[in-house]
Every structure is written in structure tokens, then in C-alpha cells.
Structure 1
């Protein structure tokens, strides 16, 4: 590949970026966020002869704002910046840990929340399950207008999205409950996790669970909620051992994937322990004030 094979645009506004993405050209243009997934495209055997539209110069995509008790996060906010910006609210503890523990420090300062969501072939994102547990939504903008939809709906349709559409913001609802995030690595920090569990739990005064979201990543080809486990643990106390046993009994609900990093059976074997670890974090005496 020569330098002339890559065409690079750096617009200053969303409107300008959409204009480039929707223009008739010899080859389609694609949005570029932090670039950490694209940089490894050649290793995956993908075509790197592309036209890129960098979103780095669009100021509104770098902001984090409080809106209606929740947060609106620009798609270009990096993992490191989001980890630093999230407060000590226990509902954000899982997302805060997901941001602070993903990959390595160099990647965390470049990888973005929007890129983590839009990398269709990336099977082991940390932020996505944490966002699913929080009930996050995304805003997508196209020349025809704007739409907002839940994370799960976006993930199901992201492979068929119009080319001239940009994920501009992620919206977190007002924080309620306590969250935790547990991940398993084969060897050392900096590599992709082989299994991830994110949990958000809301409890009654008697300690029983009245609301629960459990999301997985790296286990199957795409992140998803584990609804059968959620239903099994609702209206029960937050007990780490009971959560582990319930997860073990429901492994058959999943279809763990084989990969070069780990076999499907191994990912499945790790899940009950990760669920136990996440629930142990939820029940720690310091969980409500500990930023992890």
C-alpha cells in the first residue's frame, strides 16, 4: 500500500463530515474515531485502501455534559478521559472500571467510546457491556436527520447502518443502583479480555434485588444481556455464591465462541467466577463510595 492509497479528511463540523460521507466518490468514506481498531486492520487481512473521515476536530464530540440528571458523552471522548470524568456514584463504578482497565494506557488515551461501540468486528469491548448494564442510549446523525435508540438495538443493526451516518453521543440515564465490572485475561494486562461481566443492581431496603442488568462481552461474537440469569436473581439478596451457582446452572443459555485467544468452553468456565467477583464487589461495605 502506498501513501496515495489512503484519502484522509478532517472536517470541523458534523455537517461537513456527513457531507463527505454522503458524497458520490470512487469508493465509500468511513468515519474514523481513535483509530485503534483500524490500525490493526492489516493484521486481520482487511483492505486498508480506504477513504477516512476523521472526527477528531469536531469539538462537540469531545464533550461530557450533565443532562436531565444523567450524562451525555461525545463519541470522541477517550476511555481515559471518561474514567477521569465519571464521579464516585456507585452506579458508574462499572463503567469507570471498564474505562480504566481496558487495553493499556496508550490505547486508553486514544480509543473512544464511539469507536468501541462502532467496531463491528471487535468481539471483546469493555465499555459496551458496562453501557448496556447502565441502560445507555446512542444518538445517530445522518443527512436525513437524527435518531436515538438503545445500545442493544444499535448493536443489532450496526452492520447494516447507512454509510453516511455518525454515532455522535452516548446518553446515560440518571444513576440508580450499584455497578461492578469483572474481566478475565489469559496472561497480562494490555491484551483483550476473554470474558467480561458487567452488572448494575438496585436493591430494596431489605437487601433483595428489585432491578438487575447483567451484560457479557468477549464470550459470544457480540456483547449481550444475560436475561435468564437476571430473572433468576431478581427478588433475592445479592449473594456472590448464589449468583455464581445460578450462572453455572445457566451456561447452556449461551453460545461461547472459539477464538485464537481462548476456546468457547474456557470462556464458559470463567463466567460463574466472574459473576461471583462482580457480585462480591456489589456487596463490599465500601462499594458505595469506592471509585474502584
Structure 2
């Protein structure tokens, strides 16, 4: 759904002695795609037909004390089963219908964006385990091409499969960047596992990345994570960080689906789950020590 910009203002905030500038764009949603008199009429007609059907269905049921009807209770059980089977889509359609008929169209929301070169430090984790090298490298290149000060974030490639090809691809891409424009530091890591030590799959891979980040001598203020096939848009970090800066109690931020594309999809699904997040590394490090 496209948006229409309505207003813009700058917010100055100081966190841990560092001043940041955040741009707030207040935007209004365009008309809902289903906003029309025809749609409203169809919704009302649908619910009228639904009520008529239930009324007719109920009136056709035999009484429980009907002595001339074979097993009248079985007809009531079938009716109840039908009602319970239709309950989930009923509630879903009810929510949509109420918004179309009575929804507030004046709702507005603010979009935040970190402005300038003053930015908190971030470690971006790209987790992978046996995916195609080209697929992972597309994600790494997108993570390393963020519209964010290159000296304020690093990219960690956390390879749970220990792929030699991927390690070489990361090294080649890193050396190629040296001769070009400034890019963030790109680090390839693969944890050593044994049969005696539980691996905990992706959670263990992230835990390994957190430990390596904390022990690198440069502990970032925030941690961000991407799946192997999640290609982040260039403003992903600038859009996510302001929410964490403005609310000191906030520990996790999910960005909307359009903030990223997927290598195995032609078009992002509008209702798909959110795949990337940012969390305060201080809280994660404290959690890691307790585990």
C-alpha cells in the first residue's frame, strides 16, 4: 500500500552522551483498496444471507423430543459441527467487514528515519546453514550496502555449515571492497561443534555470534539479524534504530515486510511474517551469561 507524506519534523535526542537526529514523517494512508459502496453493499448482503441460511438451517432441525424422527440428536450434532467449522472464517470476515463499514479512515502514523552521520554501533548477523552461496552473498552484499555510516556497523556471516566455498566468497568480496568505496567490516565465522555439545540450530548460531561480538573488543550497542535469503533495503537500519533510541525500554524492533525482499520469491507476500529484528546487545549479553 502506498503512502502520502503529510508532514516532517526533526527530533533531537541524546543517548549515553551522544546526540542523534531523527526525522519523523507523518503520513496518512491512502484509501483502503476495498473502500467502495459496492464492497460495502456486498458485505451487508453477505451477512444477511448468512443469517437467513442459519435461520433456515435451524428451523429445519427436528425437535429433540421428536418420536417420529430417527436419531434427532444426530442432526443437531451435525449442525453444531457445521457451526464450529465455519467459526474461524466467520470471525476473520467479521473483522474485515467491521473495518470496511465502520473503520476510521483518519488514522495517521509516523515513520522514523535516523539522519546524519551520528549513529549507534550495530552488528548485523547473517545466519546461514548450507544455503546456496550466491543466495547468501546477495544478502551479505545488501547488508554491507546499507545507507549507514560504514564505520558504525559490522556484518557477521554466521555459517553453521562451515562451507569453504562461502568462506572464500566472503573473503573475495571483502578484498574487492578494499579497492572500492568504504564498506563495513565483514567477518566470516563458523562455530566448532561436537556431539557432546548441543548445537540448538539457529538459536545456537545466534548465541555463538553474540559471544563472538561481545569478545571482539568492540561491543556494538545493537544487534540486527537477517535470514540467509533476506535482502534488506538500504534504509533498513536507519528506519529501525530510531525506535530503539526513542524508547529506552524497547528491546526488539520488527520492520515491515516491504523493508526487505526474498531471493526465493518474486514478490513479498503482504501478510507474511516479519523476519528481521534488532535487539539491545547489553540485554542479550546478560541473557547469554545466564544460560
TM-score band (shorter)? Answer: under 0.3
Question: TM-score scaled by structure 2?
Answer: 0.27
Give the TM-score normalised by structure 1.
0.27
